[in-house]
Amino acid sequence: MKIVVGCDHAGVALKNEITPVLKELNIAWEDVGTTTEESVDYPDFGERVSELVSTGKVDRGILICGTGIGMSIVANKFAGVRAALCSETYSAKMSRLHNDANVLVLPGRIINSQTAAEIVRVWFTTSFEGGRHQGRLNKIQAIEARLCK
């Protein structure tokens, strides 16, 4: 699996704390920044990750900002991106089982590194259930197609 990770200044610390978990899971990632705590604009980094997921250049993405809200707003504007903001493992698991989420959004200023690590582990080891949920994703795709016209 190929993944891409991006964050703003409020997400750098948590990003550095979750990359060992990716290593442990044998997941190769590309980091598109930012890499320092100097203030940047989250849409710039949200766009980099979401574009790569939307165009199928990578399988999944992780985005981190302070609350996770800004990154979620950006990511869910991209066709085919299903971004899930998760602060606990139940949402992380359900976002894979029911929503086939392909971007995990984490709130860097809200959760600690242990919770983030648990979320990342669950999110990458849970498969989409399909079935009735696939029909619902098809409806989302139809909405996207209609709105993009």
**Residues contributing to the site for ligand RB5 (CB under 6 A):** 8, 10, 42, 65-67, 69-70
List the catalytic residue out of 7, 9, 65, 86: 65
Active site residue 98: yes
* Contact status, residue 61 vs residue 49, Cβ threshold 8 Å: yes
Q: Kindly state the smallest distance separating residue 93's Cβ from ligand RB5, in Å.
A: 24
Active site residue 65: yes
Q: Which of 45, 47, 28 is nearest to 108 (CA)?
A: 45
Q: Kindly state the smallest distance separating residue 134's Cβ from ligand RB5, in Å.
A: 31
List the catalytic residue out of 7, 9, 86, 98: 98
For ligand RB5, give the closer residue by CB, 25 or 69. Answer: 69
For ligand RB5, give the closer residue by CB, 47 or 100. Answer: 47
For ligand RB5, give the closer residue by CB, 6 or 27. Answer: 6
User: Which CA distances in Å does 33 have to 44, 60, 81, 97, 123?
Assistant: 10, 16, 19, 29, 21
Q: Kindly state the smallest distance separating residue 141's Cβ from ligand RB5, in Å.
A: 26
* Contact status, residue 71 vs residue 91, Cβ threshold 8 Å: no
Strands 2-7 and 60-65: parallel
Give the active site residues: 65, 98
